[in-house]
Each structure stands twice: as structure tokens, then as C-alpha cells.
Structure 1
Amino acid sequence: MDIEALVAIDVHTHAEVGADGHTSLSPELLAASEKYFKAAGHRQPTVPEMAAYYRERRMAAVVFTVDAEHVTGHPRIPNEEVAASCAEHADVLIPFASIDPHRGRAGVREARVLVREYGVRGFKFHPSLQGFAPDDRLAYPLYEAIEELGVPALFHTGQTGIGAGLPGGGGIRLRYSNPMLVDDVAVDFPALRIILAHPSFPWQDEALAVATHKPHVYIDLSGWSPKYFPAPLIRYANTLLQDKVLFGSDYPVLTPDRWLADFDKLDIKPEVKPKILKTNAARLLGLIGKENPA
């Protein structure tokens, strides 16, 4: 991957459909998410199509699916498939994996294989969708393995469009995605690099507190158009957290084109913009130099 040639690294994109047409979520949950993001009828691109999309824009993208089979009963897109497809497009795609913590020891073994044999560079958790609190000891053996493997863990935080509007929210519990629950993870696994995904409505201040207090906790800005970012998030991104904030879109429900167009309208310092768009992610993912000390 030619980091110098890239204009940005998008740390948050979803593989929503597998090579065989199997979707990452049930039709009901996908439809609710599309309605929430006003993206009804959007086409789920394959991983190779995602590669072409990002290559055309001279961007790289972190790609993952979500494993929530324990709660939803819907089988995941295989992590191995996502990783292998990303490997075929390694000039622009960076594979993450998703393992439901309810998989127990089998999930721990899978994590080790995915990193060592498939080149996976990190792991995505969605506590609300996967039905677990991040500080639940159920997940600790998996965190221990991820910390030992030296790759980041990305946690969905805040409200989610998945299940929005369905009876009972599709059974999804928002409280599991409070970033303060990830603070315990940062304490108990001090070498684990953690990304808090999204502006964490309604817990934005909590996310900022955790990221400023814990050296290896970052924030990605995916899932929202930047024009809706709360003022404290913009202020911290411009100052105290300028080395720990990351560009993410949530593609395909929110495109990097729209995100970047709105980001350009924010009052972000010229010297900070390239950090958010590329440099911070490149260091965190080990693509250049070393991770910045906090």
C-alpha cells in the first residue's frame, strides 16, 4: 500500500454482502438501517466493488462484517472470505474481522488464526447488536488474544440505526454501547489499542473523557455527516485529541464523498486535517512509523 499516494484512510466500512449473495444482517435489520440513514434502496457492494470505489478516489478503507449470530440467528459473512478478498486488493483495502464474544474459546482460536494466517489487522465489536456489555468478562479472553496479537479493537458506540423503528428496536439494547463500558476494557487491557466508533450520541462527553484519559483509546468519526458533529467533538478533534481522531464514513450507508464534502466546511485547523484524514490511522494500523504516544 502506497501511503504517500493516498488522500485518506477510511477506518469504518462494512462488507454487507458476501460472494454468494448472503447479507451481513437479516433483511429486516438491513431495511431498518437503510431507513434510518435515508439510504433506502442502496446497493450492497461486494468487496471487489468496494476496492474499485476506493481506488478511484485514491483512498484506503478498513473493511469488516459483524458477527451477531448468537443474538440474531443470522449467520455472518465469513471473516476468511472478507480477509481473502481484501488481500486481493491490498493496495486499498485493510481487513478487520468480527467475532461474537459468545463464541468463547472457539472465537479466541479463530482470532489467532485470522491474524496469523489471513493478515487481519483488527477486530470490530458491536455490543448492542451482539448482545453483550463490553466490560462483561465473557469477552475478556478474546480481548486478551487481540491485545497479544497487537491489533486494534473497534467498538460501536452510541445509538445505532440497526433495528431503529422496529418493535422493541429489533431487540437491540442501546445501553451496551455506552463508551464508559469500554473504559473498563482500557483499564484491564492497557496495551490494547481501542477505537470508539462514531460520535457517541447520547454519550459524546463520555467518549471524549475516555479518549483523553486512556492513552490507547481513539475515536472514529463515522456514521454521521460532519455537519451534525457536536461542538465539543470538533473542539477536541482540533486540540487535545488531534492525534487520536480518525476519518471513517460507514460506507455504504454513508459515502466518503458526502462525509468529506461536509468535513471541508468545518473549522478544522489546516495542520490537523491530514492527521484526521490519514496520518493518525496510518500510525495506528502500523502502516507508517509508530503509534503516537498520548
Structure 2
Amino acid sequence: MRQLTVDCHVHLTAPEVIAAVERYRGMDHYFNLLTSSPKNKFATAEDTIAEMDRAGIDVAVVFGFAFKDMGLCQETNNYVMAMTKRYTGRFIGLACVNPLAGGLEAELERCRAGGLAGVGELFPEGQGFDLARQEDMGELAGLCSELQWPVLVHLNEPVGHFYPGKTKTTLPQACTFAENNPKLKIILAHWGGGLWVYELMPELKRTLANVYYDTAASPFLYTPVIYQAVKAAGVLDKILLGSDFPLLSPQRYLEDLAASGLPDAEIASVKGLNATRIFGMQTS
């Protein structure tokens, strides 16, 4: 059985959006905030496949931008569905939706029929919802639980330097989201803002049983010692390689993993085994 290397956090942008980026910036405040950063980059499906091949990534979990407006989300979903079909076996696509929008169930069903396999990356602050309010999250969580779909949510560390996209969504809100929806598989981006530390508390270990954490933006935030820290906390089996490409190449993360001091079997878990379990991927 061959070990897959899986990048669980990759942003795709349709060529039409890149060509008309100023128009889209004018339609969504959060999109404008993130894409106006000097560090921002865009990647089409073809750009992503080329980078995957360079870095040795077998499969990427890909998604568009989670706009506040559901119509714009549908546009991004159209591109992700088309590219997931074009690059069968290389991409697992996630759907972008606004949990507060009308037509949520219909859009999730459309995306399921179109070959997508989860939801994300959602932006609580940018899209205007509160993770801790079940009135905001209950419908989405229930539908995704029925579909056995994971939901990927943006979450950042509450301390340290500011950067575009560092929001005020709190760790308690994320914890309440997990507590309210125990059957839902949740992936918290960017190491979950450090929420994994609290899995050392037995009560939160139970609350966060279905919560996973990706490594997106890790080289900007942490040294490779973080991999030893999550091992010591007993959550290494919940860590997913995620590059945030095109912000960074997945190669940067593979270098950090190689420098982490973890044995090969544990590196293999982060590189892909954990992801294949969550997404039900075939590895042979």
C-alpha cells in the first residue's frame, strides 16, 4: 500500500477572478483585505498541479474563496468542481458557503453531486457568522454531519504579530462550536490557533475528539519544534499537512517536518496518513 503525501490546505482561484480581481475586491471587504496584502498570490489549478509535482505532493485538498455573498461562493465552487473533475485523483474539492445564507442545503447538495467532499475554508469574521452561535452554525453542522463531510475553518493564534487575516475569532468560540456539534469532523486551520494545547485537559480532550488541526502558515509562526510539542500533547494523529499554497510552497513544510526530529512513521502520519483517514482516501 503506497503512502500518499496530502496537502490539506490549498487555495484555487479561477483565471476569470484573477483577471478581474479589482472588481471582486470591490464586492467583498475580506477578500479585499487578504488579496491586497503584498504577500498575496493567486494560483490556478494548473499552477497548483505544477507545484504539487515539484514538491512531491500526491493529493491536494482545494477550495476557492469563501465570500460573504453566496452567489460569489457558488462561482468559486463551480471552478473547484470543474478542476476536481479535470484532475481526478489529484484534487479533493471543498465547497465554500456562508452558513447564514439561504439555499445552503441546495448548494451543498449541488456540490456533493459535483464531486466535492467537504466545506471550507470558512472565515467567521469575513463572512459575518459566530462559531459559538448554534443559530448560525447548526444547519451547516447538521448537513455536513449527515454527509460525513469535514468542515475547515480559519482560526488564528490570539497573540503575536498582526497580519492581514488575523481575526478576533476566539479559541473559546471554536471550542463551543465543537461542543455543540460533537458528530461533526472539524479541521481548524493554522494549528487551530493553539487550541490543541488544551487537549491536555481531559474534559477538552473529549470535547475536541473530532477536531483536527492543519499546519497552514506554520513557517511564518512557529519553529519545527512544534511537531515535538503536539506529539507530547498526544495529538500528532490529528495534525494535517497544509501549506496555504500559493502563500507558501508545500516544500517549506516538508523541510520543517524533516527537521522536526520525528521518526519516519510519525512524519508519514502528518504527511498523509491522517488525511487519508479523515477524507476516506484509497491509498493503493
* TM-score normalised by length of structure 2: 0.81
Map of 2:111 onto structure 1: 114
Map of 2:205 onto structure 1: 212
Out of 168, 172, 183, the position equivalent to 1:191 is 183
Give the Cα separation in 1 of the matches to 2:140 and 2:47: 31
Give the Cα separation in 1 of the matches to 2:200 and 2:243: 19
Identity %: 24
> Structure 2 vs 1, CA of residues 74 and 257 (structure 1 numbering), >3 Å: closer, same or farther?
farther
Preserved CA contact (<8 Å) 1:226 1:262: no
CA drift at 1:227 = 7.5
Map of 2:245 onto structure 1: 251
Name the structure where helix makes up a greater proportion of residues. 2
1:60-209 mapped onto 2 (5 Å cutoff): 60-70=59-69, 75-76=72-73, 77-104=75-102, 106-115=103-112, 117-124=113-120, 125-136=122-133, 137-158=135-156, 174-176=167-169, 178-201=170-193, 205-206=197-198
Give the Cα separation in 2 of the matches to 1:22 and 1:211: 45
Preserved CA contact (<8 Å) 2:190 2:215: yes
Give the Cα separation in 2 of the matches to 1:23 and 1:108: 29
Preserved CA contact (<8 Å) 1:135 1:185: yes
Structure 2 counterpart SS, 1:13: strand
Preserved CA contact (<8 Å) 1:12 1:62: yes
RMSD after superposition? 3.1
CA drift at 1:232 = 6.0
Give the Cα separation in 1 of the matches to 2:248 and 2:186: 23
Map of 1:283 onto structure 2: 277
CA drift at 1:226 = 7.6
Map of 1:292 onto structure 2: none
Give the Cα separation in 1 of the matches to 2:76 and 2:142: 22
CA drift at 1:46 = 1.0
* TM-score normalised by length of structure 1: 0.78
1:250-269 mapped onto 2 (5 Å cutoff): 250-269=244-263
> Structure 2 vs 1, CA of residues 128 and 233 (structure 1 numbering), >3 Å: closer, same or farther?
farther
Give the Cα separation in 2 of the matches to 1:276 and 1:181: 26
Preserved CA contact (<8 Å) 2:68 2:128: no
Preserved CA contact (<8 Å) 2:215 2:242: yes
Give the Cα separation in 1 of the matches to 2:56 and 2:238: 22
Moved more, 74-83 or 145-154: 74-83
Q: Which amino acid aligns with 2:130?
A: A
Map of 1:228 onto structure 2: 222
1:10-52 per-position Cα deviation (integer Å, ceiling 9, x unaligned): 000111344453459627424444x3xxx36x4x221133123
Map of 2:28 onto structure 1: none
Structure 1 counterpart SS, 2:191: coil
> Structure 2 vs 1, CA of residues 110 and 28 (structure 1 numbering), >3 Å: closer, same or farther?
closer
Moved more, 52-61 or 217-226: 52-61
Moved more, 88-97 or 49-58: 49-58
1:56-90 per-position Cα deviation (integer Å, ceiling 9, x unaligned): 444111101122234xx993442022111121101
CA drift at 1:206 = 4.7
Structure 1 counterpart SS, 2:84: helix
Aligned residues: 267
Give the Cα separation in 2 of the matches to 1:52 and 1:11: 16
Moved more, 147-156 or 232-241: 232-241
Give the Cα separation in 1 of the matches to 2:35 and 2:81: 26
Structure 2: gaps (5+ residues): 26-30
